[in-house]
């Protein structure tokens, strides 16, 4: 496992929130222009209550925040939180890259691929 940068529970909330296509779409829309929940609800073939629920999941994960503007509640994407989630994915990538390199070393043969990385991993 990769060691996470967000707290354990936070990570699970974030990934749970991101694991749904509608919620990812809501994030995209709210990054572009802080729509109100009722405006958002018009965009999806589901009830207002369902959209509200999705927004609540995103809010709990810290991925969006709600802001009162006049009579409306506008939904705003917290880009910093989205970026942190992406960093966790970057870490996962680095983990696998390191593993593949160690596997290659263990197999004991010099790989035929070009080495774009000047820092050679030392073994033994």
**Beta strand 64-69 with 72-77: parallel, antiparallel or unpaired?**
antiparallel
Taking the least distance from each CB to other proteins, the nearer of 48 and 96 is 96
| Contact status: 93 vs other proteins (CB under 8 A) | yes
| Contact status: 80 vs other proteins (CB under 8 A) | no
E-only strand ranges, the chain: 64-69, 72-77
User: CB of 76: closest distance to other proteins in angstroms?
Assistant: 19
Taking the CA of residue 58 as centre, how many other CA atoms within 13 Å lie in the half-sphere pointing to its CB? 30
Choose one: 37-45, 47-55, 62-70, 97-105; the region binding other proteins (CB under 8 A). 97-105
Contact 58, 26 (CB under 8 A): yes
Taking the least distance from each CB to other proteins, the nearer of 11 and 39 is 11
Taking the least distance from each CB to other proteins, the nearer of 36 and 104 is 104
Q: Where are the alpha helices (DSSP H) in 19-70?
A: 21-33, 37-42, 48-60
Contact 18, 100 (CB under 8 A): no
Residue (of 72, 42, 67, 41) closest to 54 by Cα position: 41
User: CB of 60: closest distance to other proteins in angstroms?
Assistant: 14
User: CB of 103: closest distance to other proteins in angstroms?
Assistant: 5
Provide the mask over 20-59, with x wherever binding to other proteins is found by CB under 8 A and - wherever it is not.
Answer: ----x-----------------------------------
């Amino acid at each position: 496992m990769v060691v996470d940068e967000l707290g354990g529970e936070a990570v699970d909330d974030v990934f749970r929130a991101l694991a749904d296509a509608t919620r990812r779409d809501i994030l995209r829309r709210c990054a572009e222009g802080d729509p109100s929940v009722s405006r958002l609800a018009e965009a999806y073939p589901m009830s207002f209550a369902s959209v509200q629920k999705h927004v609540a999941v995103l809010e709990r994960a810290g991925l969006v925040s709600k802001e009162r503007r006049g009579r409306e509640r506008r939904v705003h994407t917290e880009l910093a939180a989205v970026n942190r989630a992406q960093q966790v994915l970057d870490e996962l990538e680095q983990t696998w890259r390191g593993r593949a390199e160690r596997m290659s070393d263990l197999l004991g043969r010099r790989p035929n691929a070009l080495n774009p990385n000047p820092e050679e991993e030392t073994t033994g």
